[in-house]
Each structure stands twice: as C-alpha cells, then as structure tokens.
Amino acid sequence: MATYDLVVIGTGPGGYVCAVRASQLGMKVAVVEKNATLGGTCLNVGCMPSKALLHASEMFEEATHSFAKMGVSVSAPKLDLPVMMNFKQQGIDGNVKGVEFLMKKNKVDVLKGTGKILGTGKVEVSADGKSQVIETKNIVIATGSDIARLKGIEIDEKRIVSSTGALSLDKVPGKLLIVGAGVIGLELGSVWHRLGAEVVVVEFLDRILPGMDGEIAKQFQRILEKQGFAFKLGAKVTAVDTSGKTLKATIEPAAGGAAETLEADVVLVCIGRVPYTDGLGLKEAGVALDARGRVQIDPHFATSLKGVYAIGDVVAGPMLAHKAEDEGVAVAEIIAGQAGHVNYDVIPGVVYTTPEVSSVGKTEEELKQAGVAYTVGKFPFTANGRSKVNQTTDGFVKILADAKTDRVLGVHIIGREAGEMIHEACVLMEFGGSAEDLARTCHAHPTRSEAVKEAALAVGRRAIHM
C-alpha cells in the first residue's frame, strides 16, 4: 500500500500548485485525476482555451475592421474555423504538458482515476473497474466546480451548450442566445460575435456582470451594445423548443409578465458554476457541506474531518483559478507547519473581452452598504496619450480610497490591457498603500498605465491631463 504525506484530489490550478508547493516543502506527494489530462477545467475547457479563441477572434476582427485605417492593406480575411480550433488545441496541449512536466520535476506521483475519501488518511482511487487504497497523512480536496444547469433545459453540447460546448462549435451560429450576462457569457459571446454571430444575452438581473462595480458595468454594456450585442435584462429563459430546425427559446420577465419567443441556432447556458463533489464520499466520511453544497472549512482550510482540507471552487469565495492557486500554496504551507495565508480583499478579477474589464477590492456599492466614507478618482482613456495614438480610447480607470486615511480600497478599470494594469493596484493594496503613494510613483510615458496614476491624482482632485 502506497503511503504519502499529502494526496491532492484534482489537478486544476489549485490542486497542482498545492502539490508543487508541498513537494518544495519536502513532502512526498501524489495527485489524483479522473480525467485523461491534467489541468482541470481551467486548462482544458475553461480559462486557457477561451483566451486562445478570444485572441484569435480579436485578430480576425482587427484584420477585418482596423488594419485599413492604419495603412495596412490586406484582402478581406477568411475564417478557417477548424484551423482556429487547432490553434486553440495547441495551446491546451502545451499547457497540459507543462503541468505534466511540473509533476515529474517535483517528483509528484500522478494517480489516474476517481478519488474517494474513505476516512482520515485513506483515499480510494478507482479506474477501469479496479481500485487501490492510498494511505496519506493529509488530504486536500481540489475538485473544482461544474456548470450550473437550468431546470427543464437539457444541455446536449451541440445546440444547447455549456461553456465547454461553446468552445468547440463546428460552425459559427447565425444567432447565438446566451443565458447569463456574467464573465463567461460575455467572453464567449465576444468570440462568436467577432466571427459573425448575432448575439443576444438574457440576464435575470437588471444589470450585466453581477458583483462588479455598477458604473463600470453600465459603461461596459454600452460598449458591447455599440459592438453589436443585444441585451434583455430582468428576463429569464423558461424553455427551449428543440423540435425545429432552429431553437425557440421562451423568455419571460423576471418579475412576471407576458412571454416572448426568440429563435436561435445555438443557446449557450452560462448561469454560473457549482462545487464538484460527486463520488468523493464526503457524507460517508464525515466531511460537512454548507447549504450551497460547498465543503465547509475553517480559517486554515481544514474540513470537519481530521487531516482533510479543501481549496478552490469547491469552497466558498470567488471561483477563480488564481484564488485557488493562492489557497493551494497556503494550505501546503499550513500542513508543513508554516503560516500560509490568503488575503481575500486583494484578489483581482478580469473579463478578457475587448476592451477588458478588471477589478480588485471593494466596489462603490459595497462601500456604501458598509457605510465607509470614500473618495473617487477617475481618469478616461480618451485623455491618455498612448490610447489616443492607438485609437483605443474606450473606458476609464476608477480608484476608491478611504476618505480619512487615503488607503486604496478598490480599483476598477475598463480598457485595453486592463487585466495587466490591475496588478500594480494589487501590489499597492497588499502593502496598504494610499492613492497618494500611487500618484507619486513615476510611470513610464507613453503607456496606458499612466491612466492609473492620473486616477490616483484625481482622488486628490489634481489630475494633470484632464
């Protein structure tokens, strides 16, 4: 019987990072993975493939609409979707092989099969009708999440698809109906809209991007509508008729009222994700779940069963790969007797559309609800030199600072490369920095990041370039 210091169930960003850190700390580690490849949802059917298609489709749109005005004459680009999908697959394969390399480099054993917790210190790994029991001092549950489903609407991954199916369509749909105006829906909608689809987004709430800063969300919606998106907010899809050549979706007001029917070639259901705990044997082993099916943990990631911990999408908090990675490092360090820690107030979020949307810390709505007095500094990219010369001036930077201490409480950006620019705000906030600290930091010229400095100056009502 194999024995380990740590067995990690799941090899997504949380799981494999946890395994690497534990190995660095001198532990004998194994990972359990039920899928054919390592990397979890993120590498295989999530973050990475979607970014490949977002990049490729953006290049297609740039060649179609932007090259000529820059003096670059090319014939009208033609879409070769199979080649684009191969480009996506190459990226997946490269990243998956990278994780396999990391496991070998760090001497982490990879156990293929489905993991089940039999109790403290015991994990059963089953594959191809055979099973083995692994003994271990510690177990980390890193099984991630699965797509949330709409009652009465069956996902076949061909015409009614989840994010997984939407990454592998064999032709561009004439009409794409998206259920859910969150990050995933808007990113995948952007991909197919750029390639020629007519996109309609139905959202139960009266706004897009729930949880993001309201002002940013409104501006972003206007930009997407200008690009050609159509939105039906405060509405819900109650049924999809699949009997005809085209799908017929029944849409009703969220507050009740008369229904309407929309036709579509493909319906994408992306209303969120749910913790994945199937087959883990948690109830039998005595691992407690909360009312939403998430594994309950204490501040040190420990579950109700001694020696068993949990991280990532399967526990409370934002379902983000980088949050899972930080938790993976922290729990490995805690198991090793160190002081692992995650600062949940400084976890950035990014929407990888064009323009991008990024955010870290508190929104205005959250600060108002908490009764925190704050000041706002904003700076538009229309007044940023680099953005002007590149003719990419959509969006702005918004900084929220404590009215008494000037400490930065939140930063929100909509604009080109917003996902890269957010990180100086993360570093500043990690060290408890003020808007004045950011405003006094020299930024290279000409860069888009100067808009961040100017927004910090604007907190004190002294922006230079507007």
Using CA atoms, how far apart are residues 408 and 282, in angstroms rounded to an integer? 41
Residue 319 among known ligand-binding residues: yes
Q: Is 322 annotated as a binding residue?
A: yes
Is 184 one of the annotated binding-site residues? yes
Is 148 annotated among the ligand-binding residues?
no
* Residue 334 neighbours by CB distance under 10 Å: 18
**Residue of 439, 427, 441 whose CA lies nearest to 397:** 439
Helix (H, G, I), strand (E, B) or coil at 15: helix
43 appears as a binding residue in the annotation: no
Residue among 337, 400, 327, 313 nearest 364 (CA): 400
User: Is 203 assigned a ligand-binding role in the annotation?
Assistant: yes
Q: Is 320 annotated as a binding residue?
A: yes
Flag whether 65 is marked binding. Answer: no
Alpha-carbon gap, residue 443 to 401, rounded angstroms: 20
Indicate the Cα dihedral angle 442, 443, 445, 446, nearest 10°. Answer: -160
Enumerate long-range contacts of 437-443, CB under 8 Å, 24 or more apart: 438/399, 438/408
Is 225 marked as a binding-site residue? no
The SS3 assignment for 409 reads: strand
**CA-wise closest residue to 415 among 444, 378, 442, 441:** 378
91 labeled binding residue: no
Interatomic CA distance for residues 402 and 207, integer angstroms: 27
Q: Is 313 one of the annotated binding-site residues? A: yes
Structure tokens at 181: 């105006």
143 labelled as ligand-binding? yes
Angle, helices 13-24/321-335, rounded to nearest 10 degrees: 30
Length of the chain as a residue count: 466
Q: CA 433, CA 83: separation in Å to the nearest integer? A: 47
Consecutive H or E run containing 323 = helix 321-335
How many angstroms separate the CA atoms of 110 and 416, rounded?
A: 40
272 belongs to an annotated ligand binding site = yes
Q: Which active-site residues does the annotation give?
A: 445
Of 208, 234, 202, 236, the residue nearest 223 (C-alpha): 208
Q: What is the DSSP string of 339-375?
A: -----TTS--EEE-SSSEEEEEE--HHHHHHHT--EE
Residue 187 annotated as binding site: yes
Asked if 418 and 356 touch (Cβ cutoff 8 Å), the reply is yes
Question: Residue 145 annotated as binding?
Answer: yes
Q: Is 321 annotated as a binding residue?
A: yes
Q: Which residues are annotated as a binding site for FAD?
A: 51, 115, 143-145, 313, 319-322
Binding site members: 51, 115, 143-145, 180-187, 203, 272, 313, 319-322
Binding-site residues from annotation for NAD(+): 180-187, 203, 272
